A and B are shown apart, each in its own frame.
Chain A
Amino acid sequence: EVQLVESGGGLVLPGGSLKVSCVASGFNFSGAAIHWVRQASGKGLEWIGRIRSKTNNYATTYAASLKGRFTLSRDDSMRTAFLQMNSLKTEDTAVYYCARQADGYNDYWGQGTLVTVSS
């Protein structure tokens, strides 16, 4: 069974940093691209970025509005993808999802982890 489980969310002060994780199981993690998507409460889905596989040189692509503050990485030996978030703002408060890329689209999603940026 394919599973993605996010963790690491929590309360962080404005200007702070947080690193969330996405642990995968049930599929060939090292061969898959992983996307991150966030959703503020009551709002729509916002794409954050994608990290590709080793075969594709772990290439990363980001939403322009987030590039420079957010960084994607992965550790295939741990079957884990990471989202590092720096200089956090109150508007970054959201549920953060990781999702597996199938043939371009996202076929499996984690349950999400809530990040709250507040003083």
Chain B
Amino acid sequence: DIVMTQYPDSLAVSLGERATINCRSSQSVLFSFDNKNYLAWYRQKPGQPPKLLIYGASTRESGVPDRFTGSGSGTDFTLTISSLQADDVAVYYCQQYYTTPRTFGQGTKLEI
């Protein structure tokens, strides 16, 4: 199985500042056939299901503010939230969909 590791486990950032969350996979999730990274980011607020933010490592889902940026390739990925807002308080997960079983990172709790 591909192991996904996020760091840090928790993060406190001031309003208006930048938050950076990292995710590392135990093997590459870059599919050579199409040169795409099979890596997604989700946000989960308390009491709610996960919400897709980013897929393909860097493509924002429709309706996701451009404050959210995904980057990276191969085994190392980053989710950056610029100009943090109060509404961004949540747990963020990365997930590889390169293969089954699908695997998630352990989550990063973002606080103000």
Contact = CB atoms under 8 A, between A and B. Distances in A.
B97 A104 contact: yes
Contact of B106 (A44, A104, A111): A44
B90 interface: no
B51 interface: yes
| A-side interface size class | 20 to 34
The majority secondary structure among interface residues of chain A is strand
B104 A105 contact: no
Interface of B: 1, 38, 40, 42, 44, 48-52, 55, 61, 93, 95, 97, 100-107
Interface of A: 35, 37, 44-47, 49-50, 61-64, 97, 99, 102-112
Question: Closest 9 interchain pairs by CB?
Answer: A109-B49, A104-B97, A105-B40, A47-B102, A45-B104, A105-B55, A61-B100, A44-B107, A105-B97
